[in-house]
A and B are shown apart, each in its own frame.
Chain A
Amino acid sequence: MLEVFIFATLNGLVTGLLLFMLASGLTLIFSMMGVLNFAHASFYMLGAYFAYSISLQFGFWLGLIFAPLIVGCLGAAVERYGLRRVHESGHVAELVFTFGLAFLIEEAIQFFWGPDTKNYQSPDILDFPLFTLFGQEFSAYRGFMIGVSVLIFIGLFRVLTRSRIGIIIQAAITHPNTVANLGHNVPLIFMGVFGVGTALAGLAGVIAGPVLTTFPGMAIVLGSIVFVIVVIGGLGSLAGAFIASLLIGLLQSYAIASDVGMPDLLNFLGVSFERDHPLNDLWTMTLPQIAPILPFLLLVLVLIFRPTGLMGNREE
């Protein structure tokens, strides 16, 4: 049982930290522009596909460096020439714009790369078990994923709280007009944040592609969860996004690893139902079976009991 617990924790950490890379960019963009970027997960997918194409020619490591840069530039261009123009028409227009962009990117990827799963592999140098515990291997690549994510978190946190740019960004979130009056170029800051946010999503795609498989549906699978994290963590809160990411990663992982379900609960309560009971599906449901929908359940609970999210301080 202990080995299941340890591995569930490790798997939860990998997923959680990966989700954080996506959620951090999304929550920063939201707090600045007040708009949820529906295309955020699509930039994650673009990252994986660019890295795949680069890795075919130049290997994994150059893909790791250049794919996020390309995605970041694309993101910045989208903000500069798309979102900024749409901004004048209000939030709804912005929302619809990013929504359409998500479809556009998915179709473009199918057009250029085709609908097949891509054979995007982790580098050979990380192709060994980092450690073996109770007969189970933990691959070095997963360790590498944890490392990269933690580095990004620390770096992001330091930049935002310790550097001059971070102070300006934080000020621009709450008091954009004051910051502009002090002579800072607020639109440029917005563009930069959007670019960095999408680049982080791209980086997440680069390191997740080999493990979670690179295919045109990868954005949809992850996309909805990222919004859940941002809302649970509190819109605009980086620390909240971090906590919510880990929470959801671990929650799902533990739920899958557990072996309990309705039958156990019914046994405990001393109730039993016939197999042909109309609600048989409900009585035989297990926790692992519903693990992937638990985040949404948590979302509903958080919205009911703490509408601002765990760390959110927005009162609107």
Chain B
Amino acid sequence: MKKHNYSFKFSSLLFIGLISFNSSLQAQEPVRIAFMDPLSGAFASIGTSGLKQIQFAADYFYNSKGGILGGRPIEIVALDNKQSPTETQIQFRRAVSEGLQIIFQGNSSAVANTLNTTISRHNRRNPGQEVLQINYSAVDPILTEDNCSFWHFRFDAHAVMKLNVLTDYIAENQDIKSMYIIGQDYSFGQVVSDNTIRLLNEKRPDIEIVGNEFHPIGQVKDFTPYVTKIVSSGADAVITGNFGADMVSLARSIIDSGLDVPIYTFYAAYDGITATIGADGVDRLRLVHNETANPIPTERRKEYIRAFKAANPNNDVTQPRIANALQMLVAAMEETQSTDPYDIALALEDMRFTSLSGDEIWMRGDDHQAFQSLHISVHTDEGIEFDADNSGFGLFSEYHVAAEDTVVESSCQMRRPRR
């Protein structure tokens, strides 16, 4: 009887101990990360799809496996900036007042530039409460060149790196004798236009630039008048940096006009674009991007995509770099056992990380620009294991450039904060 009592006491003690251990794990403060992108308005589809991807990546890699930094879960806080620089300032204030110190942002270089300036100023004035900008998609080179900042990291190849690859590819196609450039009238569109002209001039001086058109971003109802000009210019190919609805409408108008020329793009896939373009765009639309599309090289990434599709049947893993950026960020946190932006930034510098597809990513310390292999893929329905928009159509990668061949010089003169 006595013995029994003792063992009961022991087990209840153990039980209480277990509970308290458990609750200490439960009560661990989450690591909060802001995701600031358009979640409403004309470009909502890109933003909401990005949000699903970062949320899934956080759950898949960390939250389902006991969290990070010894049991802390990752909490993604969605902030809707409507892709407007003004709204971004407001949302940034909100992020700061809620104590958020890491901000993911990708859509629109104009917004990224605003955020970059705002964060630099904020960090200078509020030492100890710095904010880190994780740029997963805004590709205006200036962010890692003249306007580079210690607090900004870019995980996508910038526009000139991508255009280097794209123009190499175009230069190999001897059928192309003339090129039409059309783009949204803002920083990124201008960069695409200027550098396409410069690079094609170097690589294929015989290619004539027969048009260089800008249109207001998100304002054009009907692209047919623009396409009429493209047709009458006699261009052999079109290059555009358009994204979202501007990309779909442009591609549809080109297809509807019966113009049969290759279209070189940055963002003409996923979020309804692939399904809308469908059979008419096969072998005509090409994209330059990081992380190879079909065929997917590793089983790990296939598993990841399948798990994502199981959780989000109507979405796709459109931007693998979101998961890459999160993984590298967490690796930096684990390495320093800290969530302080300064420590994280130092650990991210010159980090080398192998992504799910076995691709090595190098974050250059001098300008905080990531380098990894780049690919050109074609819109098709052949050899597509993982399609887009559940349409049967998808991207097939047909041209690859190794990471070391994408490295470009940077004019960045980084001002490093002292601690």
Tell me if B44 and A221 are in contact (CB < 8 A): no
Q: Indicate if B215 sits at the interface (CB-CB under 8 A).
A: yes
Which residue of A is nearest B314, CB measured?
A114
Q: Counting CB contacts under 8 A, is B228 at the interface?
A: yes
B287 on interface, CB distance cutoff 8 Å? no
B245 & A117 in contact (Cβ 8 Å cutoff): yes
- Among residues 253 to 268 in chain A, which have CB atoms less than 8 Å away from a CB atom of chain B? 253, 256-257
In the bound complex, residues from chain B placing their C-beta under 8 Å from that of A106 are 40
Pair B228/A8 contact, Cβ less than 8 Å = yes
Which of A132, A135, A137, A256 is in CB contact (< 8 Å) with B225? Answer: A256
Assuming A135-B231, A137-B258, A215-B248, is B276 touching A117 (CB within 8 A)? yes
Cβ of A4 and Cβ of B228 under 8 Å apart?
yes
Contact flags (1/0) for B219-246 with A, using CB distance below 8 Å? 1111011101101100000000000010
A120: chain B residues within 8 A (beta carbon): 276
Please tell me if the beta carbons of A256 and B44 are within 8 angstroms of each other in the complex.
no
In contact, B45 and A115 (Cβ under 8 angstroms): yes
Q: Assuming A119-B272, A215-B45, is B221 touching A222 (CB within 8 A)?
A: yes
Instruction: Establish whether residues B222 and A212, one from each chain, have CB atoms under 8 Å apart when the complex forms.
Output: yes
Q: Pick the 4 closest A-B CB pairs, nearest first.
A: A217-B42, A117-B272, A116-B272, A137-B258
In angstroms, Cα B222 to Cα A212, docked, is 6
Within 8 A of A (CB), among B137-175: none
Could you tell me which residues of chain A, from 118 to 171, have a CB within 8 Å of some CB in chain B?
A: 118-121, 129, 132, 134-137, 139, 141-142
Indicate which residue in A7, A212, A256 contacts B249 across the interface (CB closer than 8 Å). A212
A232 CA to B32 CA in the complex, in Å? 51
Q: Measured between C-beta atoms, what is the minimum distance from A306 to chain B in Å?
A: 26
Contact of B229 among A115, A216, A256 (CB under 8 A): A256
Q: Is A198 interfacial (CB-CB < 8 Å)?
A: no
Query: How far is the CB of A3 from the nearest CB of chain B, in Å?
Result: 6
B128 → chain A, closest Cβ, in Å? Answer: 38
Q: How far apart are A257's CB and chain B's nearest CB, in angstroms?
A: 6
Asked whether B43 lies within 8 Å of A217 as measured between CB atoms, the reply is: yes
Chain A residues with CB under 8 Å of B391's CB are 119
Q: How far is the CB of A132 from chain B (nearest CB, A)?
A: 8
B252 within 8 A of A: yes
A53 within 8 A of B: no
Interface residues of A in 1-27 (CB under 8 A from B): 3-4, 7-8, 11-12, 14-15
A253 touches B245 (CB 8 A): no
Within the assembled complex, what's the spacing in Å between the Cα atoms of A11 and B222? Answer: 9
Residues of A within 8 Å of B185, CB to CB, are 289
- Give A residues with C-beta under 8 Å from B: 3-4, 7-8, 11-12, 14-15, 106-107, 110, 114-121, 129, 132, 134-137, 139, 141-142, 211-213, 215-218, 220-222, 225, 252-253, 256-257, 286, 288-289, 291-293
Report if B275 contacts A (CB, 8 A). yes
Residue B354 at the A interface, CB < 8 A?
no
Q: Which residues of B contact A15 (CB under 8 A)?
A: 221-222
| Proximity bits, B27-65, A CB within 8 Å = 1, else 0 | 000000000000011111101110000000000000000
Q: Which residues of B contact A212 (CB under 8 A)?
A: 221-222, 249
In Å, the complex CA distance between A121 and B213 comes to 27
Contact yes or no, B256 A139, CB < 8 A: yes
Partner of B228, one of A11, A110, A222, A286: A11
Q: Does A215 lie within 8 Å of B213, measured CB to CB?
A: no
A14 and B224: CB pair below 8 A? Answer: yes
Query: B89 to chain A: closest CB distance in Å?
Result: 22
Q: B248-279 toward A: CB 8 Å interface, digit per residue (1/0)?
A: 11001000111000000000000111011010
Q: Which of A217, A257, A289 contacts B215 (CB 8 A)?
A: A289
Q: A212-B249, A215-B245, A215-B272 are in contact. Are A117 and B45 (CB under 8 A)?
A: yes
The answer for the CA separation of A35 and B190 in the assembled complex, in Å, is 42
Cβ B231 vs Cβ A117 within 8 A: no
Mark contacts of B173-208 with chain A using CB atoms, 8 A cut-off: 1 yes-contact digit, 0 otherwise.
000000000000100000000000000000000000
In the bound assembly, the distance between CA atoms of A114 and B389 in angstroms comes to 12
Chain A residues in 8 Å Cβ range of B43: 217
Could you tell me if B215 and A288 are in contact, using CB atoms closer than 8 angstroms?
yes
Give the nearest-CB partner of A258 in chain B.
B229
Residue among A4, A110, A213, A256 making CB contact with B40, cutoff 8 Å: A110
> A8 near B225 (CB under 8 angstroms)?
yes
Which of B40, B41, B43, B256 is packed against the most chain A CB atoms within 10 Å? B256
Q: Once the chains bind, are A14 and B222 in contact (CB under 8 Å)? A: yes
Q: Which of B218, B225, B226, B389 contacts A217 (CB 8 A)?
A: B218
**7 pairs, CB–CB < 8 Å, chain A vs chain B:** A11-B222, A11-B225, A115-B45, A117-B245, A252-B225, A289-B185, A292-B220
| Docked CA distance A106–B214 (Å) | 28
- A198→B226 CA distance, assembly (Å): 30
Cβ proximity bits B273-292 to A, threshold 8 Å, 1 near / 0 not: 10110100000000000000
Distance in angstroms between the alpha carbons of A235 and B89 in the assembled complex: 38
Q: Is B417 interfacial (CB-CB < 8 Å)?
A: no
Asked if A3 and B252 make an inter-chain contact with CB atoms under 8 angstroms apart, the answer reads no
Answer yes or no: B127 CB below 8 A from chain A CBs: no
Q: Does B216 contact A (CB under 8 A)?
A: yes
Please measure, in the bound complex, the distance between the C-alpha atom of A115 and the C-alpha atom of B245, giving whole angstroms. Answer: 11
Known interface pairs A119-B278, A288-B215; A213-B232 also in contact (CB < 8 Å): no
Does the CB pair B257–A211 fall under 8 Å? no
CA distance A209 to B154 in the complex (A): 37
Having A11-B224, A119-B278, A136-B257, one finds 10 other A-B pairs with CB under 8 Å, namely A3-B232, A135-B231, A211-B256, A216-B44, A217-B218, A288-B214, A288-B215, A288-B229, A289-B185, A292-B220
Are B232 and A4 closer than 8 Å at their CB atoms?
Answer: yes
Q: Are A257 and B258 in contact (CB under 8 A)?
A: no
Known A213-B276, A217-B218, A217-B245: A136·B42 in contact at CB below 8 Å: no
A220 is contacted by which of B42, B276, B278 (Cβ under 8 Å)?
Answer: B42
Question: In whole angstroms, how far apart are the Cα atoms of A12 and B49 in the complex?
Answer: 35
CB-CB under 8 A from B389, the residues of chain A are: 116, 119
List chain A residues, Cβ under 8 A from B220.
Answer: 221, 292
A116 and B271 contacting across the interface, CB-CB below 8 Å: yes
Instruction: Please name all residues of chain B whose beta carbon is closer than 8 Å to the beta carbon of A7 when the two chains form the complex.
Output: 225, 228, 232
**CB atoms of A136 and B245 under 8 A apart:** no
Q: Which residues of B contact A117 (CB under 8 A)?
A: 45, 245, 248, 271-273, 275-276
